[in-house]
Chains A and B, each alone.
Chain A
């Protein structure tokens, strides 16, 4: 007799206008296992999960839970059938309490005849219990917005756990967690597994898959490639199946293009917030890729955003090419030949409803403007040139950027800054949520830039990427620069040592209270 699957998806297809997003996908999840779902960005993993969860209606295909055919009409229906999903993009209500977020849509009620009242006492007590279950000691009455993204994610997981789901979908759950939080998450996952819960685990991180997953299904360009037991497949083979070709090196050949010229000098920069970055000093040389390592919450992003004029400082100086500059707004930074690719692509990177052309040219229009009129022909050239140079995959430069995959969106943002031709380009997690192929292309662009005498500051939480790409790595911990290593001496252990120099756990609760510049 065939093995009984907890969840079976057979021959699932889904089309959007102009694209076949899924083409006859199969997914079979055994009870009490973690099933990794892998594929490049745009392979259709999230779409498949949205179909499963009733957010999209599938065009074709069947879903079986414990051998019974089910029809999932909407997310509410999915929850009732024992499915829970931790979304890649969290969808919390930050102004309401943690407990209210966890019980949104299923508040415990007290009934007075026809009148129903939310039972806050039960809700808060239950929420606290489930939070404890995932080792998160928060006050359930605290506003969700006071937590860090990593902490919100933990709340989301606690919520999924609290729903007593048979099948939990985890869509890139670790992308914004600290190592401690990842460990905690894995403990929870193992615990759930032992209780017979099945999990679908979407991730790009090979090490995690090895650590936590039992089975693996690989998708490519909306098609089904195959399923394996994790122990039967090598990392190389996984990558090969995902990209459909052999990948040579993960990083482009590393040459040192550094010169002695100091492009950017940061001196004793202090944030207006006591618990953000303090007394940060460093130098960036022409032709250098300077990596910034550290744990989530080390205030690397905040430091870079301050250099770029997005946050306020109380003291400290920034020198560019030996000249002291006063940067109060990103505009000032751009005038001083600094560019920045932010971490939150959707939040402050792309203009979703605008075209690729507009997205590319937005920060360089002033360069193509004569007496207040834009030279459209010139802009057109620049846009077309970047699309081909960065091999951005799009039907046309008039396409809305929101219809592109994450990797292509990121390339458009890189194109935006290349059009500005800055000397210093700050890249905050430049390859987050981007598939292997596009990652390599972005690395190649970075190397080309330093070859041309530009300099790059790269924040990355991916240790291999940091070591693989940087000439030099500066490590931060709790808002301070705690160490610096040359590439030849860089090891994961060394970076980790600097990154945990201060007891970060003391600060987790507090750092979440930090406000962004208003």
Chain B
């Protein structure tokens, strides 16, 4: 009897947020039956896909006790870059009016350009954090401003639209007319990241650095190299995320991706990536992103005022982290 009670309590501490969210979702579905509709669930899934990719990127930083506050701005930069290079040939407000009409392969080239540019910013993040020993919080905070500034300079703060169908189809198209590409891309990224985290020395080193950086160093782990790879990988994933978000929304501006890093960090934490480092699973990241997205959608469906939605999201983040810490503090 008592044992059962304790297990129940442990279960609630470990999964409290998720339980509450499921209850909230059921409640919402009862009050607003359209919440449970296939269209809405599909919508949630499509929103989750790019956010999951971004959260995967940030999870590596968090596991090594770092963070990446430049994530959202890099997402925005990537979306803007892709947007300016992939406008319709006949569109009146073209950013590069003289850009010739390349073939369909141009979409892939642009994706590579986005990844390449963002990877440079990620590399700088990594170098600053590893070699200059600047705390990740500060280093990436600086990078957040730098990237935003770069994006402003590049776009002149003009909104970008009129995308080629070949670009928007990346987000809107479906395999065999059923499975959205977006979904498949996110799935592929998730599998790759899972593999890297669990089956490669790089992944093991990452957890080791998060667990005890000095011990990792003594064990012969090249901590600098590992961290640089983590921040570059993260930037690459933000670039991909931004590319997809741009395609999905069919337009972009410098404000795209603003604050997404915080959402991604929150999602990771809800999914059990410990802010104390060394702990975190890709499946957890997915759950975290799902929970966060469902929360937002529920609040919308329940007709909660947008302003209050922020308050609710904030509370969820704090409660999630408070519960997360409960798991690790020594039981007295």
Interface residues, chain A, with chain B CB atoms under 8 Å away: 16-17, 55-57, 308, 310, 329-331, 333-334, 340, 342, 347-354, 358, 361-363, 365-366, 369, 372-374, 376, 416, 518
Contact = CB atoms under 8 A, between A and B. Distances in A.
B331 interface: yes
Contact of B200 (A16, A308, A342, A372): A372
A369 B331 contact: no
A75 to B, nearest CB: 12
Interface stretch (B34-42, B80-88, B217-225, B258-266): B217-225
B200 A352 contact: no
Contacts of B279: 353
Contacts of B216: 351, 362
Interface in B186-242: 199-202, 204-205, 207-208, 210-212, 214-222
A352 B211 contact: yes
Interface residues of B, number: 29
Contacts of A57: 332
B212 A351 contact: yes
B200 A374 contact: yes
A362 B219 contact: yes
A376 B204 CA distance: 12
Given A55-B332, A348-B218, A351-B278, A358 B207 contact: yes
Contacts of B207: 351, 354, 358
Given A57-B332, A331-B221, A358 B215 contact: no
Contacts of A361: 204
Nearest to A334: B220
Given A16-B331, A361-B204, 13 more contacts: A330-B218, A330-B220, A348-B217, A349-B218, A352-B212, A353-B278, A354-B207, A354-B278, A366-B201, A369-B200, A372-B201, A373-B199, A373-B200
Nearest to B225: A331
Contacts of B214: 347-348
Nearest to B217: A330
Contacts of A376: 199
B136 to A, nearest CB: 17
B219 A416 contact: yes
A352 B212 CA distance: 7
A349 B215 contact: yes
Nearest to B201: A365
B199 A374 contact: yes
Contacts of B276: 353
B222 A331 contact: yes
Nearest to B278: A353
Contact of A358 (B133, B208, B217, B331): B208
Contacts of A330: 217-220
Contact of A351 (B133, B208, B220): B208
3 nearest A-B residue pairs (beta carbon): A351-B211, A348-B214, A363-B219
Interface string B295-332: 00000000000000000000000000000000010011
B204 A362 contact: yes
Contacts of B332: 55-57
